[in-house]
Structure 1
Amino acid sequence: MTDSARQAGDSAIPPLFRFVPGPGGDTGTATRLALNRTGSFEWDLVAGTLDIDEAGLAVFGVDPVAFAARPSIVVERLDPGERARLAVTIDEALTGGSGSYSIHFRVPLPDGARQWTHVQGMIMRSGDGRAHRVVGVVRDATAEVTHSAFVLDLEERRRRQTDIVERTTAALSRAMTVDDVTAALTGPGGLAMLGADGLALGLVEGSTLDIIALSGETLEAFDGPGSGDLDAGLPLGDTVLSGRPRFVTSVPELARRYPVLQPHVDGLGIRAAAYLPLVAHARPLGALALFYGERTDFSADERILYLGLAAIVAQSLQRAMLYDEEREFATGLQSAMLPRRIQAVEGGEIAVRYHAAWSGRDVGGDWYDVVTLPRSRVGVVVGDVQGHDTHAAAIMGQLRIVLRAYAAEGHPPATVMARVSRFLAELDTDRFATCTYAQVDLATGAVRLARAGHFGPLVRHTDGRVGSPQVRGGLPLGISTEFVDEEFPETRIDLLPGESLVLYTDGLVEEPGAGLDQGMAALAREVSEGPEGAEDLADHLSARLWERWGAGDDVALLVLRRGPDVDRVRAPRLRQYIHQADPEGLSEARTIVRKALTDWDMAELADDAELVTGELLVNVLLHTEGGAVLTLEVLPEPVRRIRLSVQDRSSVWPRRRAPGETSTSGRGLLLLDAVTARWGIEPRGEGKAVWCEIGPTARRPFGTGRGGGAPHRI
């Protein structure tokens, strides 16, 4: 480059980028730049010449003599990939109108090393914007890039460490029990959360160390030195006894220090391990071991991190162990207040279940009981005291004993409820209780119920259908006495052989986030779909509902099943009880009759049978004090007929009447005589049965059935 050209360009170049000639020029600036491994260059784009000072050539590792002979040697030293990247960067800057460019690239040195080099150039342009000259600096950036990479790596490691702490803290914050803690550490994502390849967790139990968790593909080999006495000859035991962490970066060293591990370490597939003591409030809880397949060292920051992790795990374990102790205390207290065993009953089977809520010492007041009563009857009760604490449980225990005493004396359900309510009010507590109490005669199937602000029962029929009798009720126990309203109406229903009575508390039907009607419908569905036996049905309901709802509340459940009639005719025969308090029972009975006759290939008789069924059942439900038992069967005759019977508990027999034109009743016997082949009345126990036969045969005149007794409208 000529002196005139150089002088013309110097005025446009900032002092930092002035071209520095060889040793004959301004040696002070050149020397300072050279000491910092920095040189300068000038590139004349018009003439196609490139001048680089000696300091710049030193950065590239090029001898000035070799450069003078062949300037292209600078670019040829670069790898093809780096050369192409440099060319693209410069070309984009020149053609894109940019005023400068900057790029880092690697330069191979004569000694075989690779040096990070930084080139920064300023582009000089003419008035029309065309680039005509580039001046700039070239420097050794190895230290800078290396330091930057170190800083980035350090930041990345610290970010990973922070993530480990945050994820572990978040996972363990939701753990309530020791099982929850181990699940958080060993479950899906547990090892990734900790950044480890394997894990072993041991808890101190007296003088022993119990290995409660192992995780990792190769840790099956650790089964040998597992749970046992606290032993300093094993790393976990040594960690507990010494209270000091141990960071192992050599497996052979680990085996030499703990010879008992020698047969096992080869199968572990690890290269490093961290043994961490778990201490909370100066109490050694156990030890945690983390295993690594690739790591070979632990930095000071990482060691501090693992000590922090150990503290987090120890605190979670201490909280979980305290919770488990409280749960054990709560369930023990609750169990002590419930009956130790349920006696067997003749003529049926009873199953009971109690499930405590998962809420620490907050025990509830749910209870059940079975009481032997005079005259071969049995009393069953399910109740719930307000609140979830030890006070509620204490009140529950007292109420159970008092109700049992009053029931055992043989008092009717209404009297038992009134006396128990008075007792609760006299306790001078702010709690109330709900309850359903039933006296059952399994020989006859008679059930007398009273309820105090509680759910009514469900009845599972032999064909799987589920009924919900409308059992009249009074106010909750305690409240009824405070309001001077100790009326607890009784309702009678009847259990047929093979039918089941289901009593329960609200924990079985209250689903979080759903209405009570949905819970009741789910319970009825599960009762219908469940097995017949009392024990099996109780298990089915517990598994499908209590566990599904999330166990947020206590549950008391009682299932009483009347023994099936083994001597009954199997088919074709239908028997159904219609409760007086069940408003849907009449419609269901008519539907059942029609469906049964259709299934028996006797649909031509369905209209008459459905009509008679409705007439007889309405008569019972309107004019008696209880429900009715409907029986439908096929008579084995050459010409098949059906026999339909409706049994009630009234001793009053019907009589024929002559209704007027505007009368709304009195036509029952006339209708029965018109559509049936035969009919009659028979005494049955404490009541009677009105029966009829329907089929293709000559009808007999009215009156062939037996009459008698006091008048009874039909």
Structure 2
Amino acid sequence: MAARPVDVSPSCAPAARRTPEDHLRTLQEVTAALSGAVREADVLRVILEQGRAGSGASGSGVAVRDGEQVRYAHLDGYSSDVRATWSAFGMDSGSPVTHVLRTGEALFLGSPQEVLARFDVPVIRAFLEASGEQAMVRLPLVGTTGVMGVLSFGFTAPQAFSEDERAFLLALAGQCAQALERARLYERELATARTLQRSLLPGTLPEVGGARVAARCIPATAGTDVGGDWYDAVRLPDGRLGVVVGDVMGKGVRAASVMGQVRNALRGLLHADPAPAVVLERLDRLVAAMEDDEELVTLAYGVLDAGTGRFTWSGAGHPPPLLLGADGEALYLEPGEGLPLGLGGAREETVVALGPGEVVLLYSDGLVETRRRPLLDGLPLLQEHAAFLVAEGGQADGSGPWTVGPWQGRSSLDALADALVERMGGGGAADDDVTLLALGREPATELTAELLLPARASSASAARACVRERLAAWSGAAAPGAPGGGAGDLAEVAQLCVSEVVTNAVLHAASPARLRLAWDGAVLRVEVRDEGAPFRTALRVPGEEDTHGRGLVLLDALSRRWGLHEVEGGKAVWFELAAGPAG
């Protein structure tokens, strides 16, 4: 940039003088404002705004040293060109800012002549020309380790800087330095606490046959402290799945530290005896023995046996889990909250049967409770949103209807968790950490087989062989919660029923037949299609000498249910056999 002569004539009238009472009132306002400013950006905003208003300055900024470079963390009241050109410069520039950083001297330069008398270097001449400043103040921000930055004010008119004005600006710089150092210390602690909190959350969630887990833990953004929310999911040695959501009612490193101790202790206790009441009683003793008794710890912990659907849980001062039924109903589990950990009292367990395709939600109070929404309003709101999403609503992106059953795996749980957090307001500026864990039980994958049978008597034997072989192969595929054994236990009765139906199809309909078997882990469905016309399904008890008509009687006696319906080009007879007792 080509330098032009700088107008150093004191032709501008000085700004209107402020009285000592004005300065005292401004300092009091700054003190009040800084009491609520805990982040560096908030401190600088208060100081720069109040400083400009109290001194009549047109521009302000705070510069900090970064090695051999100087950068303005904030530079307000200047054009974009000035901010872009002078937001950073070297320590060897010979500027007033670098002088203050090196010496700690406060500079009150009331006119361009005073500026250039001490700092007649190209960079300063260019700055005066571009900014139009006629006076400047550069004040050291002195912390416990020395000069930590420079508070700058610029004026478009020459200034005399009375003793009172100098004292006011020096006091302002002192307030800024103290608040800035406190904010930096706080932000370091905040970063440490967040790192600790993140390190204690599981990197991946376990895969357990018959169950899936999705979780979200979103730090508070509207507030300033790190909360003590956490979650965990652990595959137990016996194949069951333990899940927990906890909350330490404190903030910062202390809360994160307590959270870590409880989380690690719980993981260890699970392998000794994972029963929820036992685990909570042992955690009670651990928390009661902690030296730091200022932090309240709440949690909800449960164990799912995906094979039977048995979900056992216990709570310690925590909101109850929410069960999302496959029918779209959302119900809170029976109260089992108990007292927070360490406060004593008997621990009780609640058991619920989690059906295939159903989901249970564990969450922290940050999901349901905010400064504007009390807990008792948030709980029914969560219930309402969950029921809507499961039974009536659509995906979070509006792409279509959503049902929990048929169960859609982890991706569906992830979408459900995201949608619930968004609907409850946890995706924006949250007052508290928001934690949600969704535990879903999946139905067994349906196994199928088909066989085309020619129109001859030997097809009944081929059908029985197909049933026998397929059910033997599927004998290990029992559904979670199936009341009896596997598919192999149904082989004898299934062969008898299918033989009757196939015989009717190939002999009476005189057409090829198609046999289809479907096993979902609990129920075997058999369907035989042929090209014959539908017939009346009324049962008739055959006489002693009748050689036909016994097939439907057998189906009615042995199957869970059966039926007949028309299909394109013919009819289909079907029946179902349940694992365990029929009916």
| Residue of structure 2 in register with 1:171 after alignment | 33
Is the CA contact (8 Å cut-off) linking 1:504 and 1:558 kept in structure 2?
A: yes
Alignment of 1:152-167 (within 5 A): 157-158=19-20, 160-167=22-29
Match of 2:494 in 1: none
Aligned mate of 1:237, from 95, 98, 123: 98
Distance 1:686 1:359, change over 3 A: same
- State whether structure 2 residue 395 is matched by structure 1 residue 516: no
Give the equivalent residue in structure 2 for 1:439: 303
Give the whole-Å Cα distance in 2 for the aligned partners of 1:282 and 1:709: 78
Q: 1:661-710 CA deviation, whole Å, 9 max, x = no partner?
A: xxxxxxxxxxxxxxxxxxxxx99746899xxxxxxx99857994735999
> 1:711/1:354 Cα in 2 relative to 1: closer, same or farther (>3 Å)?
closer
CA contact (8 A) 2:298 2:318 kept: yes
Q: Is residue 130 of structure 2 the alignment partner of residue 267 of structure 1?
A: yes
Look at both structures and tell me which one has the larger radius of gyration over its CA atoms: 1
Distance in 2 separating the partners of 1:550 and 1:190: 32
In the alignment, is the contact (CA less than 8 A) between 2:110 and 2:160 conserved in 1? yes
Question: Could you tell me which amino acid in structure 2 is paired with residue 456 of structure 1?
Answer: P
**Other-structure match for 1:28:** none
CA–CA distance in structure 2, aligned partners of residues 432 and 301 of structure 1: 50
Letter of the 1:558 partner, please give it: L
Preserved contact between residue 168 and residue 193 of structure 1 (Cα < 8 Å): no
CA gap of 1:437–1:285, structure 2 versus 1, over 3 A, is: same
Query: Could you say which residue in structure 1 is the equivalent of 2:362?
Result: 503
Q: Distance in 1 between matches of 2:257 and 2:239?
A: 31
How far does residue 177 in structure 1 lie from its aligned partner after superposition? Answer: 1.1
Q: Is the 8 A contact 1:440 1:448 kept in 2?
A: yes
Residues 239-258 of structure 1 mapped to structure 2, 5 A cutoff: 239-251=100-112, 254=115, 257-258=120-121
- Alignment check: 8 A CA contact 1:202 1:213 kept: yes
Paired with 1:318 and 1:264, the residues of 2 have a C-alpha distance of 29
Judging changes above 3 Å, is the alpha-carbon distance between structure 1 residues 566 and 268 closer, same or farther for their aligned structure 2 residues? farther
Offset of 1:198 from its aligned partner? 1.5
Say yes or no: does 1:328 pair with 2:187: no
**SS of the counterpart of 1:511?**
coil
Match of 2:154 in 1: 291
> Is 1:183 matched up with 2:59?
no
Give the distance between the partners of 1:251 and 1:443, measured in 2 at CA. Answer: 84
Q: Which residues in structure 2 correspond to 1:660-679 (within 5 Å)?
A: none
Equivalent residue letter for 2:27: V
The Cα offsets for residues 197-219 of structure 1, whole Å up to 9 and x where unpaired, read as 21121234566544211112415
* Cα distance change, pair 447–245 in 1 and its aligned pair in 2 (3 A): same
The whole-number CA distance in structure 2 between the counterparts of 1:185 and 1:533 is 49
Change (3 A) 1:460 1:492: closer
3-state SS, counterpart of residue 224 of structure 1: helix
Aligned-pair CA distance for 1:380: 1.6
Deviations 1:321-353 (Å, cap 9, x if unpaired)?
2222332333344445x1351245366452331
**TM superposition shift of 1:235:** 2.3
In 2: Cα distance, 1:202 partner to 1:564 partner: 62
Out of 139, 142, 167, the position equivalent to 1:276 is 139
2:232 partner letter: D
Partner of 1:350: 214
Q: Which one-letter code corresponds to 1:371 in the other structure?
A: V
**Is the CA contact (8 Å cut-off) linking 1:456 and 1:503 kept in structure 2?**
yes
Letter of the structure 2 residue corresponding to residue 518 of structure 1: D
Structure 2 Cα separation of the partners of residues 181 and 429 of structure 1: 31
SS in 2 for 1:473: coil
Match of 1:200 among 61, 64, 74: 61
Greater relative CO (CA pairs within 8 A, separation 6+):
2
* Ranges in structure 2 where 5+ consecutive residues have no aligned partner: 1-15, 390-394, 397-410, 448-479, 486-517, 526-534, 540-552, 561-576
- 1:307 maps to 170
Q: 1:259-658 alignment to 2 at 5 Å?
A: 259-281=122-144, 283-336=146-199, 338-339=200-201, 341-343=203-205, 345=207, 348-353=212-217, 355=219, 365-374=228-237, 376-385=239-248, 393-408=256-271, 411-421=274-284, 424=287, 433-440=297-304, 447-459=311-323, 467-473=330-336, 475-476=338-339, 482-483=344-345, 485-494=346-355, 496=357, 500-512=359-371, 514-524=373-383, 531=396, 534=413, 545-546=425-426, 551=431, 553-560=432-439
Query: Structure 1 residues 202 and 492, CA, compared in 2 at 3 Å: closer, same or farther?
Result: farther
Alpha carbons of 1:515 and 1:306: their partners in 2 closer, same or farther (altered >3 Å)?
same
2: CA distance, partners of 1:281 / 1:421: 42
Matched positions, count = 438
Alpha-carbon shift at residue 492 of structure 1 (Å): 2.6
Give the Cα–Cα distance (whole angstroms) in 1 for the partners of residues 416 and 56 of structure 2: 47
Quick check: 2:314–2:347 contact (8 Å CA) kept in 1?
no
Q: Deviations over 1:514-568 (max 9, x none)?
A: 43112224444665567385556656666764576753x5554334466799999
Two-structure CA RMSD over aligned residues (Å): 4.8
Gaps of 5+ in 1: 1-152, 569-646, 653-681, 690-696
User: 1:234, CA displacement in angstroms?
Assistant: 2.5
CA contact (8 A) 2:48 2:61 kept: no
